[in-house]
């Protein structure tokens, strides 16, 4: 039997941005549900962080989420298992009050997991582990020890894995706790990665600049072979455009297809700007296709950077810049704790920008 695995859907992301919701809907309309229909998949598991903000969601975002995801699941009789993630819980020390339970009771095809639970699907025994906190930590550890399940689906914070591309989490649980399982799949980190039996599945679509050029999608789990198959999301929301008019004419600029940048986040990184009129025309055409956000980056001209990768880092990787800044501070405090605080502040800033 084939089961679809998807995680970190973050409905209501970017301060309930309807442009982001449109990007999410494109994935469900053109990738996710067509694949389920084509392969006759009637059961899915959502590994947590279904909603973006822990304490509330706007009516507009909830309506959009129901229309693009929850209603089609119900209409197509797709049984849906939903693990509670940290973004789904109101309080940090318990999963008892969570958005999955409160917002989705009208859907009789949805099963919510706020506590560690053993289930069986097509003969495959699976341990469902929601977000681990002070309120359920001991229960979770006991469940891990006693379970007979060889597969674990979860929402874990493990140290040593990339939570975003190029950024490793140095805090969290030790992954060896899960050595008894043949396969562990987890949500929470938005970058897909695998080490041993641990698989972070990654989010299904781009939502921040940290997702730029980081392949997104969902997975299919085979209950018989226990194999994971990756289904890639081909749609991008973040684009980097290199501007160099050294050998560019107005006719050349007129032939550029700007439509691909519509309703996207765009950064124009200038390498050479010799004709200000041509550049203004270039930017004007970009603005006409209504990008969500358009940024012009030309500070790197004075940074004496050696190659394109350096420019990319300086132009768009905010977390790298923050980490380097903390590394350069002459302080007695634990720099890892300072970095973690900076990451939390950065995440909070993304939710309101």
Cα dist. 138→59, 71, 115, 158 in Å? 36, 36, 11, 17
Q: Which of 88-97, 154-163, 222-231, 315-324 has the lowest mean pLDDT?
A: 315-324
pLDDT at 309: 47
Under a CB-based contact definition with an 8 Å cutoff, are residues 5 and 47 in contact? yes
pLDDT tier, 351 (very low <50, low <70, confident <90, very high otherwise): low
Under a CB-based contact definition with an 8 Å cutoff, are residues 224 and 151 in contact? no
pLDDT at 312: 47
- What are the tens digits of pLDDT across the range 70-124? 999 999 999 999 999 999 999 999 999 999 999 999 999 999 999 999 999 999 9
Tokens read off for 286: 């970009």
> In terms of residues, how long is the chain?
353
d(CA 277, CA 308): 26
> What's this model's pTM, rounded to 2 decimal places?
0.85
Mean pLDDT of 137-146: 97
10 Å CB burial of residue 135 (0-12, 13-18, 19+) is middle
User: Which residues fall within 8 angstroms of residue 207, CB to CB, at 6 or more apart?
Assistant: 10, 13, 14, 20, 190, 237
Angle between helices 308-316 and 318-327 (to 10 degrees): 90
Is the C-alpha dihedral spanning 153, 159, 163, 168 positive or negative? negative
Number of CB atoms found within 10 A of residue 10's CB: 23
d(CA 18, CA 22): 6
By three-state DSSP, how is residue 263 classified? coil
pLDDT at 331: 78
- What are the tens digits of pLDDT across the range 15-41? 999 999 999 999 999 999 999 999 999
pLDDT at 337: 79
Q: Measured at the alpha carbon of residue 110, what is the angle toward residues 45 and 190, in degrees to the nearest 5?
A: 35
pLDDT at 305: 44
Number of CB atoms found within 10 A of residue 13's CB: 25
Mean pLDDT of 224-246: 95
Q: Which of 38-52, 59-73, 173-187, 248-262 has the lowest mean pLDDT?
A: 248-262
Which is nearest to 208 in space by CA: 171, 166, 236?
A: 236
pLDDT at 345: 79
By three-state DSSP, how is residue 40 classified? coil
Which is nearest to 199 in space by CA: 185, 213, 211?
A: 185
pLDDT at 300: 52
For the sheet with 238-244, list strands across it.
238-244, 265-272, 293-297
- What are the tens digits of pLDDT across the range 5-17? 999 999 999 999 9
Q: What is the DSSP string of 52-103?
A: S-SS---HHHHHHHIIIIIHHHHHTT-EEEEE--GGGBSSTT-SSSBHHHHH
For 273-284, b/e burial (b = at least 16 CB within 10 A) is bebeebbeebee
d(CA 99, CA 51): 7
Mean pLDDT of 227-232: 97
pLDDT tier, 344 (very low <50, low <70, confident <90, very high otherwise): confident
10 Å CB burial of residue 77 (0-12, 13-18, 19+) is exposed
- What are the tens digits of pLDDT across the range 148-175? 999 999 999 999 999 998 889 999 999 9
- What are the tens digits of pLDDT across the range 296-306? 998 554 444 44
Q: Specify the higher pLDDT residue, 340 or 284.
A: 284
Mean residue pLDDT of the chain comes to: 91
d(CA 97, CA 21): 25
């Amino acid at each position: 039997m084939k089961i679809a695995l998807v995680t970190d859907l973050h409905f209501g992301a970017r301060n309930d941005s309807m442009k982001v919701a449109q990007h999410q809907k494109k994935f469900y309309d053109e990738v996710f549900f067509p694949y389920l229909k084509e392969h006759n998949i009637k059961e899915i598991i959502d590994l947590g962080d279904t909603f973006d903000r822990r304490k509330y969601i706007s009516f507009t975002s909830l309506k959009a989420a129901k229309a693009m995801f929850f209603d089609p699941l119900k209409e197509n009789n797709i049984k849906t298992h939903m693990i509670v993630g940290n973004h789904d819980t109101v309080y940090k020390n318990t999963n008892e009050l969570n958005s999955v339970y409160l917002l989705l009771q009208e859907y009789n095809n949805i099963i919510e997991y706020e506590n560690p639970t053993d289930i069986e699907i097509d003969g495959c025994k699976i341990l469902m582990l929601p977000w681990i906190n002070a309120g359920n930590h001991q229960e979770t550890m006991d469940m891990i020890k006693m379970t007979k399940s060889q597969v674990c689906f979860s929402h874990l914070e493990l140290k040593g894995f990339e939570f975003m591309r190029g950024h490793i989490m140095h805090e969290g649980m030790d992954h060896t706790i899960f050595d008894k399982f043949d396969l562990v799949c987890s949500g929470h980190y938005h970058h897909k990665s695998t080490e041993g039996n641990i698989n972070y599945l990654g989010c299904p679509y781009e939502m921040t600049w940290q997702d730029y050029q980081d392949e997104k999608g969902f997975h299919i789990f085979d209950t018989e072979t226990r194999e994971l198959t990756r289904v890639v999301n081909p749609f991008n929301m973040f684009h980097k455009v290199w501007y160099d008019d050294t050998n560019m004419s107005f006719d050349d600029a007129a032939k550029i297809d700007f439509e691909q940048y519509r309703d996207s986040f765009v950064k124009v990184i200038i390498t050479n700007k010799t004709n200000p009129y041509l550049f203004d025309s270039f930017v004007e055409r970009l603005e006409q296709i209504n990008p969500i956000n358009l940024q012009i980056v030309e500070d790197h001209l004075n940074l004496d950077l050696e190659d394109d990768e350096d420019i990319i880092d300086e132009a768009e990787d905010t977390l790298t810049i923050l980490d380097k800044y903390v590394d350069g501070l002459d302080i007695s405090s634990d720099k890892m704790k300072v970095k973690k605080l900076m990451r939390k502040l950065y995440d909070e800033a993304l939710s309101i920008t």
